[in-house]
A = this chain, B = another copy of it.
């Protein structure tokens, strides 16, 4: 199985981390009617606990709201009128309208495949934008929703795609499966919640949209997919949560997540590669490690525990700096970056990791072509 034909769509709005902090701080002060902290105090808190601007330089968003002022007229966060922002249904209507346009743009620029797997944890509407777009195809396109798995969402979707192509007897002969990630994390902030945990979360997440294809034909430029693997870490189910709540999707995130992952990543990797018959020593030193940049500390942990060189994880750090954490859309952006980097030669092994609620650790072993 091969991955190829990456197409990302840049969201129309961008903010530096400092602009984000200012906007978020003002939203918090107004939404909480000054009960907790002023904008300036929130700004200090964001600088203290949030991801720094050295680590996240800018973030891109599909929501136009993310500027200071005009708190009566924002699309999602008119916090002077509604302290939590607009309702869950209105957030979903915004999501659907935006994602329909994204699918239109994507399939004006590429051919329809046999299957589309729509990956998201930030908006659930059926029929989905993927289904509505699939109807425009000249051939029959099967649409599968791969929803609500969080930052590691690319892996279950890759698992599905690789299976859809493999089982010709039951599913028919399919040539290509597209995976399309549409993550509008910016829809699910809660300006009413003053907890430090929420400030950390709000300092990390951004929006992202990316499509790519899996097929059995070797492309001129792409990845060969050798192996996929996934495990749950015992005793960590409280460490991260993502659930449908009243005003939007609600996230919880323990600050111990990087350590919890760091403590397991070596055993996990050895177990995986041993089970599948790959030689970790042969791969490790020449591989590039595409670590889902959930935050800077998780990259540090994987680098330290796996005893990697900085250049083996530098693409992850760069992507975090350039775009922040786009949930499931992040790793595919990283793969696109690796593909477009001519300094990374064909044949380079790529070990990817992502992490999410469970805690779940997912990994893939691919090879750049």
Interface residues of A (CB under 8 A from B): 1, 87-89, 92, 96, 121, 123-127, 131-132, 134-135, 140-150, 156, 159-160, 162-167, 169-172, 225-232, 234, 237, 240-246, 250, 275-276, 356-360
How many subunits of this chain does the assembly comprise? Answer: 2
Considering only CB atoms, which chain B residue lies closest to A245 in the complex? B89
A159 and B145 contact, CB distance less than 8 A = no
Beyond the given pairs A127-B240, A144-B160, A162-B170, 17 more chain A to chain B contacts, judged by CB atoms under 8 angstroms and listed by A's residue number, are A1-B170, A87-B246, A96-B243, A123-B244, A124-B147, A125-B241, A126-B241, A127-B360, A143-B358, A144-B149, A147-B147, A162-B163, A163-B165, A166-B170, A170-B228, A171-B228, A172-B275
Q: Are B149 and A145 in contact (CB under 8 A)?
A: yes
CB neighbours of A127 from chain B (8 A)? 232, 237, 240-241, 357-360
Q: Which of B124, B141, B164, B237 contacts A131 (CB 8 A)?
A: B237
Which of B89, B242, B276 is within 8 Å of A172, CB to CB?
B276
**Chain B residues, Cβ within 8 Å of A89:** 243-246, 250
User: B227 to A170, Cβ gap below 8 A?
Assistant: yes
Chain B residues with Cβ below 8 Å from A169 are: 1, 166
Chain A binding surface, main DSSP class: mixed
Contact partners of A160 in chain B: CB under 8 A? 144, 159-160, 163
Contact of A126 among B125, B134, B243, B275 (CB under 8 A): B243
A143: which B residues are within 8 A, CB to CB?
Answer: 232, 358, 360
Q: 5 tightest A-B contacts by CB?
A: A163-B163, A166-B167, A126-B357, A166-B166, A126-B242
Q: Pick the contact of A234 from B135, B225, B242 — CB < 8 Å?
A: B135
The chain B residue sitting closest to A167, CB to CB, is B166
Chain B residues whose CB sits within 8 angstroms of the CB of A88 once the complex forms: 88, 244-246
Within the complex, the shortest CB–CB distance from A4 to chain B, in Å, comes to: 16
The smallest beta-carbon distance between A363 and chain B, in angstroms, is: 12
Is B92 touching A243 in the complex (CB atoms < 8 A)?
yes
Q: Are A124 and B237 in contact (CB under 8 A)?
A: no
A232 CB contact (under 8 Å) in B87, B124, B134, B356:
B134
When chains A and B are docked, how far (Å) is the Cα of A359 from the Cα of B126? 9
Give every chain B residue within 8 A of A276 (Cβ-Cβ).
172
Task: Write the chain B residue with the least CB distance to A360.
Answer: B131
Whether A237 pairs with B166 at a CB distance below 8 angstroms is no
Q: What separation, in Å, do the CA atoms of A150 and B124 have in the docked complex?
A: 11
Q: Given the complex of chains A and B, what is the CA–CA distance between A170 and B2 in angstroms? A: 11
CB-CB < 8 A to A165: which residues of B?
A: 163, 167
Distance A135 CA – B165 CA, assembled complex (angstroms): 29
Bound-complex Cα distance A248 to B145 (A): 20
Chain B residues with CB under 8 A of A359: 127
Contact of A124 among B87, B164, B228, B243 (CB under 8 A): B243
